[in-house]
Chain A
Amino acid sequence: MWDWQNASPLTGLNFVAMVVGAVVVLAIGLGVVTYTIYAERKVIGWMQGRIGPNRVGPFGLLQSIADIVKLLIKEDVVPERADRVLFLLAPVIAFIPSFMVLAVIPFSARHPFTANLAVGALYYIALSAITIHGVMLGGWASNNKYALIGGMRSAAQMLSYEVPLGLSLVGVILMAGSLNLNDIVEAQARSGWWYIVPQFLGFCVFLVAATAELNRTPFDLPEAESELVAGYHVEYTGFRFAFFMLTEYLYLFAMGGLMATLFLGGWTGPWLPGWLWFAIKVFAFIFFQFWLRATMPRIRVDQLMSFSWKVLLPLALLNLVVTAVLKAFLS
């Protein structure tokens, strides 16, 4: 097979292949987001004894598409007193990294769309941190008090949870001996167990920190509807608002992919094709998030912070130390 991942990127065919690959991944991302939103509304509807969307298309399947079209044709309102440049820029800053992180997620055993990056895990964590800037700038530039509080809360929350999230990955990286996500999957296949077993504590920390990082219930403070009206994107309408939504759901997908890769053996599994295994694992994570949203009330902002620094971080450190010691002794 044509080994595009190790060839020089900017020569002839490779460049074309790269562009095509990016477009395909974007299309996959958008498709997944569209139907994740649909699935969320449907699943939560069932959990709450409702029907969920069922008007547009068979079983409401076209509901999300109708919503997107509506958002696209809406007027693009910029508040008069807003910081115009930053206001227009913020959704873009938030969105781009959410799409870029998909580049390192290995969807299946061999497919040409995954950058075989040697520092894949680090790349994910580093890029996803950029989104915080978009959120914070959006809140600031709106010149709205609710948006400002929402943006600041968002920044504080995402920064606090980035630390335990990053540390919970280190255990896996130590075991696999690589930052490359493809290698981590292969290391799991070689060792014969998914890392969720030896890294169970790390997995728990990851799951909680990921939920907070995604601003999902019970950590959905930045967009606490009942307190902050809508949080940082309260002043955004139309496709700029859609960008923020898109960012959130792309991260949901990407985080599910990261979890599947690091803890659940990525695309490996018996009988079924790799991409299907990957999809099952990712959607298990996404379903878990829906389930949480239908179950939990929202945690309070100060409790959120102390939970991150006083509970999650020590647990992540403990996991790291235990992993390191065990690895040193066993090898």
Chain B
Amino acid sequence: MAQTEETLERLGVPADKLEHHRLRLDDDPDVRTEEMLLNVGPQHPSTHGVFRLLVKIRGETILDAEPVIGYLHRGTEKLAEDLQYTQIIPYTDRLDYLAAMLNNYALCHTVEEALGLEIPERAEYLRVIVMELQRIASHLLFIGTYLLDLGAMSPFLYVFQERERIVQMFNKICGARLTYNYMRIGGVKWDAPPGWLDEVRAFVPFMKERIKMYDDLITGNEIFLNRTRGIGQYDTETALKYGLSGINLRCTGFAWDLRRKKPYSIYDRFEFDIPVGTRGDCFDRYYLHLLEMQQSLRIVEQALDQIPDSGPVLGKVPKLIRVPKGEYYSGIEGARGELGFYIVSDGKDKPYRLKIRKPSFVNLQLLPELLRGQNIANLIAILGAVDIVLGEVDA
């Protein structure tokens, strides 16, 4: 028994909670209790891919958790060293495969910054529209999978209806449903086909209705509230210490959105808010996803009003892109946090070294801290709300 108490103390479980965590059996000298190692994953249905979590539990209390990653490692960063800048774009599609447009943009943006390229107006607007639609699609999937983790099956199938419409629109503009390869350095590959912008315009009110529906159906659900309120809570200080970004940071009440704080592209032309949470718990993280979808719709609406009717969609770009010698970094607000590409160039047409700041990977680092001392029943609720995509974590 003493040993357990020591372990719990070492792990920083508050003294008033100690009683709660101690097993009654420990007081009985005739009963032998032991810690159990539970292997969650890599084929567990709720790890959102091939993610493995080694959990050490005593009774129902998690003593320690160790994430094991790398099952989906494809060496994107290394492969990029042998690829011309344009050739890297399809590889970024496969990082966070739920938000490929944003990945495309993050790479192109970094190279464009390095080259000092001028992007045609229409291309900028098209980029913003597809990026915000992509953010909505990604957030939708978060809501679906999170509710699926919590045992509700229907939201998962509902969100695919809206996501399908977005994916269909992407299919029309670039011919792919998941790995778009749509952006190019200096613009986008294809102009919007006739009627495409009207389709997006028709989608906005539909999506607003659906967001309201999700709010009605999920947000007030007593069981859902009981499972997420106050669970997986942390404060701004911890979040900053771990370098969290995106919703994982904003849920603590810290308004940090790169679209606002370090405006890139044409985001300074739009009006939108940065929704922030108050408690930094799983519920706030869920709710921020809903609110951010609303803001994305606002941006899409404004972009549709402002987009020039015609014009080039690909700027004047040299045939062979050579990034001048030096080091370049730029980050954008991805669907899961700050997504940044860091390029070291020696003046050739291929990067000397490419480093990706992957928001999922950074956000995942907090997980063991969040899990320690928790009841095993909260494991999936906490893991789901961190919102990782393994394609990005493992890259």
A binds B: yes
Those of A188-246 within 8 Å (CB) of chain B: 217-218, 220, 224-227, 229
- What's the Cα separation between A295 and B153 when bound, in Å? 8
B1 at interface, CB cutoff 8 A: no
A303 at interface, CB cutoff 8 A: yes
Q: Would you give the 0/1 interface string for B35-70, flagging 1 where the beta carbon is closer than 8 Å to chain A?
A: 010110000111000000000000010000000000
- What's the Cα separation between A220 and B36 when bound, in Å? 24
- A295 pairs with B154, CB closer than 8 A: yes
- A49 pairs with B151, CB closer than 8 A: no
- B223 pairs with A218, CB closer than 8 A: yes
- B151 pairs with A220, CB closer than 8 A: yes
Those of B121-153 within 8 Å (CB) of chain A: 147-153
- What's the Cα separation between A44 and B38 when bound, in Å? 33
The interface stretch among B103-111, B169-177, B352-360, B371-379 is B371-379
Complex interface: chain A residues within 8 A of B260 (CB):
none
Residue of A nearest to B378 (CB): A300
Q: In the complex where A48-B154, A48-B157, A145-B38 touch, is A299 in contact with B226 (Cβ < 8 A)? A: yes
- A226 pairs with B46, CB closer than 8 A: yes
Those of A274-331 within 8 Å (CB) of chain B: 293-303
- A293 pairs with B378, CB closer than 8 A: no
Residue of A nearest to B231 (CB): A300
- B147 pairs with A229, CB closer than 8 A: no
- A224 pairs with B151, CB closer than 8 A: yes
Complex interface: chain B residues within 8 A of A89 (CB):
none
Complex interface: chain B residues within 8 A of A303 (CB):
226-227
- A297 pairs with B152, CB closer than 8 A: yes
A50 at interface, CB cutoff 8 A: yes
Of B46, B154, B158, chain A has the most CB atoms within 10 Å of the CB of: B154
B367 at interface, CB cutoff 8 A: no
- A145 pairs with B36, CB closer than 8 A: yes
B221 at interface, CB cutoff 8 A: yes
- A298 pairs with B223, CB closer than 8 A: yes
- A49 pairs with B161, CB closer than 8 A: yes
Residue of A nearest to B381 (CB): A300
- What's the Cα separation between A300 and B222 when bound, in Å? 12
B211 at interface, CB cutoff 8 A: no
Complex interface: chain B residues within 8 A of A49 (CB):
157-158, 161
- B153 pairs with A48, CB closer than 8 A: yes
Q: Would you give the 0/1 interface string for B213-229, flagging 1 where the beta carbon is closer than 8 Å to chain A?
A: 00000000101101100
Complex interface: chain A residues within 8 A of B154 (CB):
47-48, 294-295
Interface size on A, residues (CB 8 A): 27
- What's the Cα separation between A48 and B160 when bound, in Å? 10
Residue of A nearest to B228 (CB): A297
- B151 pairs with A218, CB closer than 8 A: yes
CB distance from A217 to the nearest CB of B (A): 7
- A229 pairs with B157, CB closer than 8 A: no
Complex interface: chain A residues within 8 A of B148 (CB):
226
Complex interface: chain B residues within 8 A of A293 (CB):
153
Tally of A-B residue pairs with Cβ under 8 A? 71
- What's the Cα separation between A300 and B150 when bound, in Å? 9
- What's the Cα separation between A298 and B147 when bound, in Å? 9
B370 at interface, CB cutoff 8 A: no
Complex interface: chain A residues within 8 A of B379 (CB):
227
B117 at interface, CB cutoff 8 A: no
- A302 pairs with B224, CB closer than 8 A: no
- What's the Cα separation between A220 and B221 when bound, in Å? 17
- B36 pairs with A297, CB closer than 8 A: no
- B152 pairs with A225, CB closer than 8 A: no
Q: Which of A220, A227, A295 contacts B380 (CB 8 A)?
A: A227
Q: Would you give the 0/1 interface string for B284-327, flagging 1 where the beta carbon is closer than 8 Å to chain A?
A: 00000000000000000000000000000000000000000000
Residue of B nearest to A224 (CB): B151
- A226 pairs with B45, CB closer than 8 A: yes
CB distance from A130 to the nearest CB of B (A): 27
CB distance from A218 to the nearest CB of B (A): 6
Complex interface: chain A residues within 8 A of B378 (CB):
300
Q: Would you give the 0/1 interface string for B6-50, flagging 1 where the beta carbon is closer than 8 Å to chain A?
A: 000000000000000000000000000000101100001110000
Residue of B nearest to A299 (CB): B223
- B221 pairs with A297, CB closer than 8 A: yes
- A229 pairs with B44, CB closer than 8 A: yes
CB distance from B227 to the nearest CB of A (A): 5
- A226 pairs with B157, CB closer than 8 A: no
- What's the Cα separation between A297 and B381 when bound, in Å? 12
Complex interface: chain A residues within 8 A of B221 (CB):
296-297
CB distance from A280 to the nearest CB of B (A): 26
- A298 pairs with B38, CB closer than 8 A: no
CB distance from B162 to the nearest CB of A (A): 11
- What's the Cα separation between A303 and B148 when bound, in Å? 19
CB distance from B62 to the nearest CB of A (A): 13
- What's the Cα separation between A229 and B41 when bound, in Å? 10
- A297 pairs with B147, CB closer than 8 A: yes
Residue of B nearest to A220 (CB): B151
- What's the Cα separation between A146 and B39 when bound, in Å? 9
Q: In the complex where A226-B46, A294-B154 touch, is A300 in contact with B36 (Cβ < 8 A)? A: no
- A226 pairs with B151, CB closer than 8 A: yes
- What's the Cα separation between A259 and B389 when bound, in Å? 46
Of A146, A149, A227, A297, chain B has the most CB atoms within 10 Å of the CB of: A297
- B158 pairs with A48, CB closer than 8 A: yes
Q: Which 7 A-B pairs have the closest CB atoms?
A: A298-B151, A297-B152, A48-B157, A226-B46, A297-B150, A301-B377, A226-B149
Can you give 24 A-B contacts (C-beta < 8 A)?
Answer: A44-B153, A48-B154, A49-B157, A49-B158, A49-B161, A145-B36, A146-B38, A218-B223, A225-B45, A225-B151, A226-B150, A226-B380, A229-B44, A294-B153, A295-B152, A296-B152, A296-B223, A297-B221, A298-B227, A299-B223, A299-B226, A300-B227, A302-B375, A303-B226
Could you list 7 further interchain pairs (A-B, Cβ under 8 angstroms) beyond the known A145-B38, A224-B151, A300-B381? A226-B46, A226-B148, A227-B379, A299-B226, A300-B377, A301-B60, A302-B375
